[in-house]
Amino acid sequence: MRIISCETARRCGTPPPADAGSFGFRRDDAGSNNEAPCGTRDEMERRQVNDAAQAARRILIEILDKVLPSPLPEAWPDERPLVEAGLDSLGVLAIVSELETRLDVTLTQNELSEEFFATFGGLQSLLIRQRGNGGPV
């Protein structure tokens, strides 16, 4: 058994251990000084990527519901062109405006490319990229 900090427990989505004590740690029976991770480093990184993708997905659905003529179907494939859902040049401008407002950034020339705006998956990768650069997604 290892030490589990309350912060680690919160980060992993679990309540702090009942025996956390006044310092927020639980010591294992063997006296280990290692903080118990919520899984391996790879598992934690996958969880962070998945969380970022889910947050980006929620935001994009909100934006696209405002911009597109009708809501995107839930089963819309990430790589299917958004033009097929009714996205036009004015819609792209509305998406850019909404993203810049929500993220409090100015998108660069490279980010204003078809690579990002052609598909839902492209927009999602742009949001995750902006979040990685410190943007508040």
Q: Where are the alpha helices (DSSP H) in 1-137?
A: 6-11, 41-67, 89-103, 114-117, 120-132
Q: Between 3.40.470.10, 3.30.1330.200, 3.40.50.1000, 1.10.1200.10, what CATH number should domain 41-132 receive?
A: 1.10.1200.10
Q: Which residues pair with 85 in a beta bridge?
A: none
Per-residue pLDDT at 9: 55
Per-residue pLDDT at 52: 75
List the Cα angle 130/131/135 in 5-degree steps. 80
Q: Where are the domains of the chain?
A: 1-38, 41-132
Per-residue pLDDT at 16: 54
Per-residue pLDDT at 4: 47
- List the pLDDT tens digit at each of the 137 positions of the chain: 444 455 555 555 555 555 555 444 444 445 554 544 455 666 666 676 677 778 888 889 999 999 999 999 888 999 999 999 999 999 999 999 999 998 888 899 989 999 999 999 999 999 888 877 554 44
d(CA 50, CA 44) in angstroms, rounded, equals 10
